[in-house]
A and B are shown apart, each in its own frame.
Chain A
Amino acid sequence: MTKYKYNKAFLYCVCIIFLSHPALSADSINDDLMNLSLEELNTIEVTSVSRKPESLFRAAAAVSVLTSEDIKRSGATNIAEALRLVPGINVARIDSNKWAITARGFNRQFSNKLLVQIDGRSVYTPLFSGVYWDVQDLILEDIDRVEVIRGPGATMWGANAVNGIINIITKSAQETQGTYLSAIYGNFEKGTFEARHGGYIDDQTAYRVYGKRIARDESKVVATGNGNNDNWHQERLGFRVDRDFSLNEKARIQGDFYSGNEQQTYFLPGAFAPAVTSEVDGDETVLGANILANWSKTYSDGSENRFQAYLDYIQRDISNVLDQRRFTFDLDFQRTANLNERNNMVWGLGYRIFRDHLDENTFPLQQQYLDYEPEKSNNNLISAFIQNEFAVIPDKLFFTLGSKFSHNYFSDFEIQPNARLSWHATDTQTLWAAVSRAIRIPTRGERGLSSIALSTPGGFVRQSANTQRNYDSEKLMAYEMGYRTQPAKWASIDASAFYNEYRDLRTFETGVSGFNLPNTLFELVASNSGFAETYGAEISATVSPTKNWKIITSYSFLEMETHSKKGSDDFLIAAKEGQSPEQQITISSRYNVSEDLEIDTTVYYVDELPAYNIEDYTRLDLRLGWRLTPNSEISLVGQNLLNGYHQENRPSLYSRQAEIGRSVYGKIAFNF
């Protein structure tokens, strides 16, 4: 009851703040300006500061950006695969439709320390804080850029931004005018078709609509070498409308709808009897829809207001395991203002509601593989942040201090502050350092889930949440620094190093959860007895030896030390050390043979995962792109050409260990 009241109070505040802002406008510009002569223009002073998005080169964080050109020339056919190019990001394909992706360690199928957003819409699942990468798709051509921040970014971005943030930003409708058509077919890609059309509704309003269908073949089971029965297809439709009310005021509405089916053979412990793990054929049907509205306005003093709201619905029915329904509603307000010449402040408020319904499948013996308690829940997340950038020495030295304050449905009040210092000794050098704290909110599963970890003749070993609810957030203190330089026009180097201290990491202790499920041999109950130190570095260099040739290389190193507190009998956390690769190397070459012909080669090296007995591997991707006419292009792509089938990671739940093989496909695209 009180909770409800206070939500209302919060919403009220948001509304008041939003509505009370005086409608300032300073758009009419160029009539005066345009009547000036060339000489006069030459002498006019810039008296007001335009707030530019912070240039990547000056950012005080380990940021990398994938441009739409990078994505195209990587030959990737989906977002998850394109992320392989980002320095320090570990992308491991588990099978045909599953990926494990994270930065700076703790990688697994449902990596729970990463925040992923598409045009400002958070796409991680509060159920386990991981991302269903199979349903994160777009027409890749319409992606403007993917900004990847390694390390915590909780202050500005919020919950779950512990080890990194992936921010996928699509082009505006103005930038995607005309018709685009593409088709992909190959041995693994069983027919991907993309169509998009963009136009103008009136002078100020542009739109685009798109449709996409994908179909992919199965991977191979490690143990038997047979097909893994995980082929899948997915269809999606979407739109985006952008309106420029004036030069400084913009709004957009966008939405997507998708539906698909993924074959799967489940590896279910205790489906029919204890001690028996059965292989059962089934499938996952996925469906989702979302709509987002965003409004922003820039004022004459360079300040900006931004308001965003979205609705998101997902549905995933995993046969024999779980039917999920989740509804999210999110409101965000952000304001940036130059307080004076030296201080730039940004602050914001956010409110999010989750509503879910989890319906578990019950096996014949009245057993459930996953048992969620309660089955329906209704939670919210409230947050506010404030951050100020102070120019200690204008243009040279900046000090940023800020914090996020949030209240969530599970671990109550949390503070996530950060302090950053950046020094731009010259125009071509940036040196930065940061200290930040971030937390990972407990998941729905950690709040109330009991699952069968192992089926033995004596009964089940269950992994369960502590129903007494004294399970807390995982916490991180991160110390980072980095250096960026552009020694010549044709070369740039970006290096970053970090030392992370984690506290209250999840462990599983033998104990009693309170679930009281039958046939239990013993229970492993979630507890916060883990801690860890990780350190590492990421270095990337880009060189353009000639005008037509660009080489991008990166190296990342990661060392993890995980421990559990005295008295803990957890035996799982130690294995985390061997579940993320220590070293990764990427070398990518892009060569324009002529105006019409591109040859791109990328080599990836990924270190072994000793905890899973997975060997290191080297992967070679080749792409040949040929522009037939100014409006059409064909390309031939070979992925994973070197060693054929190899395993990259392990599934977290119910599916078999799988290997990914060579993929060769052809693509044709038209733009008119």
Chain B
Amino acid sequence: MLYKTIPIFCYIVLLCFVCISSAQAEQLSYTDAQIKAAFILKLRDFVNWPVSKSLKTVCIVGDGLVGNSLAFTIRQNRNVQLKEIRVVRKTLTSSFSECHLVYFDETSESIFPQILFSLKNQPILTISDLDGFIDREGMIGLNKENRRIVIEINHLQIKKNNLDISSKVLGVSKRVLE
């Protein structure tokens, strides 16, 4: 009895699968992770680093869709605009001295305060979409509001760390802490 039902079950599952698959229309749409990654890369045009002047090394802490999107985009675009940029994954115990920008991804919730603490007074731009990032000494927060991604900036923290950010970014930001 069972021997008959299992293949039938498989067949039904298979049918469901085909239905679901064919229903997947190819669409040009962006996930919030992709938009956030684009934001992060865009920001480099508006930030001035004291020594290198431009963004050379992007560090990612934690695992998540935004970091993956960022890492992949940079690695894929070696030829064009992002040629000079390197991506490095970091954890709590890593040295951050080479980083110009640190992105804290989904799984870094428990460790980011400690890392931020160790980055004090260093010209490293910190960005994250973790809740309340700029209220917890992060520099730039990315939030989703009504299906749009908005920027929040802790300008005080940016100035403290000897970084320069264009007023244009402050202009488009949803919230700025001075």
Contact = CB atoms under 8 A, between A and B. Distances in A.
A347 B65 CA distance: 22
Given A30-B73, A347-B13, A671-B93, A69 B111 contact: yes
Given A10-B6, A21-B17, A247-B68, A42 B95 contact: no
A347 B15 CA distance: 13
Contacts of B168: 38
A10 B34 CA distance: 38
B147 A46 contact: yes
Contacts of B117: 547-548, 592, 595
Interface in B1-46: 2-3, 6-7, 9-11, 13-14, 16-18, 20-22, 24-35, 37-39, 41-43, 46
A144 B168 CA distance: 38
Contact of A13 (B10, B71, B132): B10
B104 to A, nearest CB: 13
B151 interface: yes
Chain B interface size, as a band, is: 35 or more
A223 interface: no
Contacts of B16: 347
B176 interface: no
Contacts of B7: 6, 9-10, 13
A16 B63 CA distance: 32
A49 B139 CA distance: 26
Contacts of A224: none
B52 interface: no
Interface in B44-83: 46, 63-65, 68-69, 71-73, 75, 77-78, 81
Interface in A382-423: 382, 384, 405, 407, 412-413
A144 B92 CA distance: 11
Nearest to B116: A547
B25 A47 contact: no
B24 A30 contact: no
A9 B72 CA distance: 39
A367 to B, nearest CB: 40
A41 B149 contact: yes
A5 B6 CA distance: 11
Contacts, number: 201
Contacts of B94: 178, 671
B41 A244 contact: no
Given A17-B13, A172-B63, A412-B2, A41 B42 contact: yes
A246 interface: yes
Chain A interface size, as a band, is: 35 or more
B95 A144 contact: no
B14 A30 contact: no
Contacts of B159: none
B160 interface: no
A2 B7 CA distance: 13
A468 interface: no
Contacts of A33: 30, 34-35, 38
Interface stretch (A299-307, A355-363, A433-441, A609-617): A299-307
Contact of A34 (B42, B72, B132, B144): B42
Given A29-B34, A50-B33, A671-B93, A24 B6 contact: no
Contact of B24 (A41, A144, A299, A548): A299
A3 B11 CA distance: 18
Contacts of A2: 3
B156 interface: no
Query: Which of B2, B88, B93, B136 gathers the greatest number of chain A CB atoms within 10 Å?
Result: B93
B68 A22 contact: no
A46 B38 contact: no
Query: Which of A26, A38, A175, A595 gathers the greatest number of chain B CB atoms within 10 Å?
Result: A38
A349 interface: yes
A651 to B, nearest CB: 36
Interface in B99-157: 106-107, 110-111, 113-114, 117-118, 120, 132, 135-136, 144, 147-151
A178 B98 CA distance: 14
Given A24-B26, A247-B68, A247-B73, A6 B20 contact: no
B163 interface: no
B46 to A, nearest CB: 7
Query: Which of A45, A141, A339 gathers the greatest number of chain B CB atoms within 10 Å?
Result: A45
Contacts of A46: 30-32, 35, 144, 147-149
A335 B33 CA distance: 21
Contacts of B93: 141, 633, 669, 671
Interface string A1-38: 01101100110010011001110101001101110111
Nearest to A141: B93
Query: Which of A30, A145, A172, A246 gathers the greatest number of chain B CB atoms within 10 Å?
Result: A30
A552 to B, nearest CB: 11
A68 interface: yes
A43 interface: yes
Contact of B75 (A3, A9, A204, A630): A204
Contacts of B21: 21-22, 24
Interface string B148-178: 1111000000000000000011001000000
Nearest to A20: B18
B41 A48 contact: no
Interface string A314-351: 00000000000000000000010101000001010100
A13 B106 CA distance: 36
A382 B6 contact: yes
A171 B6 CA distance: 37
A672 B93 CA distance: 9
Contact of B65 (A50, A67, A144, A384): A50
Contacts of A141: 93
Interface of B: 2-3, 6-7, 9-11, 13-14, 16-18, 20-22, 24-35, 37-39, 41-43, 46, 63-65, 68-69, 71-73, 75, 77-78, 81, 88-89, 91-97, 106-107, 110-111, 113-114, 117-118, 120, 132, 135-136, 144, 147-151, 168-169, 172
Given A47-B147, A300-B29, 11 more contacts: A6-B2, A20-B18, A29-B69, A34-B81, A52-B65, A52-B106, A67-B107, A247-B72, A347-B13, A630-B96, A669-B93
5 contacts: A38-B168, A175-B89, A203-B75, A247-B72, A548-B117
